[in-house]
Each structure stands twice: as C-alpha cells, then as structure tokens.
Amino acid sequence: MCNECLNSLTPADVTVRCICGEALGFLSAGAEPLCGVCRRVQPRFDVAISFGSYDGALRRLVHLLKYEQLRPAANVLGAKLAEVLKRSGFAEGDPTLVIPVPLHPSKRRQRGFNQSELIARCAVRHFDRSRFALHSGNLRRTRATTSQTGLTSHQRRENVRGAFVVTIPGMVKDRSVVIVDDVYTTGTTLNECARVLRAAGAKQIAVATVARVYRSIAEIAPNGILVKEKDVAALVEAAAG
C-alpha cells in the first residue's frame, strides 16, 4: 500500500460507545452504555475495542491479508491494534493474555494461516512482554461452523455455541484476557469465545479487532427508515463482505 493509503488509516471517530463497542448517538445521565442488541443479550466480555470502521483502506488491507495471503499486512494491522489497545487502558498493570480467535483445523489448512493469530502476534511486539503474552492453542475451535450470513441473532448464537473449548482452564483462571480477531461484524463468535473463557475463570475480558462494522450506519435503510433485526444482520454482513 502507498503512504497515502497508510496515512488514511485513522481511528473511528466515536464519542460514546456501548460495551460491545457500537457507536451510540448520545447517553443520558445515569444510563447504562448499552445498545438495543446488548440490552436483550448482554455480552460476556467487559469491553470491545476496535481501531477503525471496516471500510476504505482499512478494509482493503484486511482483505489483502485474509484473502490475498499478503502476510506483511499483519505488521500494519497489528500496530494499529496495539495503538488502540494502549489508549484503552484495559487491565492496566495486570499481566494479560492475548488470545487470537482460532480457526477450525480444516479452515486453517485451506488458508495456510490464521489471520487473527498473525495480527495478535504483531500487536504483542508493541507491548511490554512482561505484561502481554501471546497465548494461542489453549482456545480451540472443535467443530467447523456454517456461514453466519442470513442467520437471525438466535441462529447465529446456536451456530457457534459449543464450537470453542478451553483445553487448559488453569492457564486462564484469574487472568485478564484480550481476544483478538480481524473484524467485529455481529460479535457472535467473539462473544462465544468470551463465554467459554469466562467459564474457565478469566477475570477480565476484552475483545479487540482491527476493524468494526458499525450497525448504527448499516441498519439505516436507503430511505432513512430503521429495518428489522434480520435485515440489519444481512446489511451488516453485506457491509463486511
């Protein structure tokens, strides 16, 4: 990528965020920072952190890594993820495990690598190694899942339920954890990863992605009318490609 494109990689301009990281237009005094989705099903993680919106040069860079196997792109994406994690102050002072979302072995063989692991590995290089440690392999995907595209929120949760397992719970018990993925689309997979890590005893959990699809933009139909939930999911996933 040229310097002009790299310089265009700027953080999302979001003032008020939900726990899940969704942009909120405003927040009333004393109100919980929850979007409509999180009011119905509160996330199993404590906070979601993303560098920028999944569009423009950031989207192209993610695609270069994920679909064109341009592995050096992970260096830039990892640096951007580290940048936003440092600003967040998550688990400040605590030893923290950085855990990439795992691929099913069949998917990893097909792709040749796990893009989330590459991004996490590059991000860790920008941190104090005594505090942040890459911890891959303990969180495993035990079964392949079907595409989430077109599924309702309930169907998406059922699709990934039981798809992940922590093989050595003692390694995460009472630890702060950052779960890393490339893009936050609906958050269903990240939430399931957080659920099994929480069950294994993780103390604090953040999910961190380089990019995010903001529903606040995707859920507005061209005529400006809010659409139904199943249509929101389709629009969000379509925006994510």
Per-residue pLDDT 10s for the chain (241 aa) are: 677 777 788 888 887 788 899 988 666 666 677 888 888 888 999 999 999 999 999 999 999 999 999 999 999 999 999 999 999 989 888 899 999 999 999 999 999 999 999 999 999 999 988 889 999 999 999 988 887 777 777 788 888 889 999 999 999 999 999 999 999 988 999 999 999 999 999 999 999 999 999 876 444 333 333 344 444 444 444 444 4
3-state helix, strand, coil in the chain (%, to 5): 40, 20, 45
CATH class of segment(s) 3-22+34-240: alpha beta
Distance (Å, whole) CA 106 – CA 237 = 23
Strand partners, 141: 164
| Residue 214 in tokens | 């903001």
Residue 220 has a pLDDT of 34
Strand partners, 180: 100, 208
Q: CA–CA distance from 74 to each of 100, 107, 115, 133 (Å)? A: 13, 19, 8, 17
Distance (Å, whole) CA 105 – CA 156 = 21
Distance (Å, whole) CA 198 – CA 165 = 11
Closest CA to 208 of 122, 108, 112, 105: 122
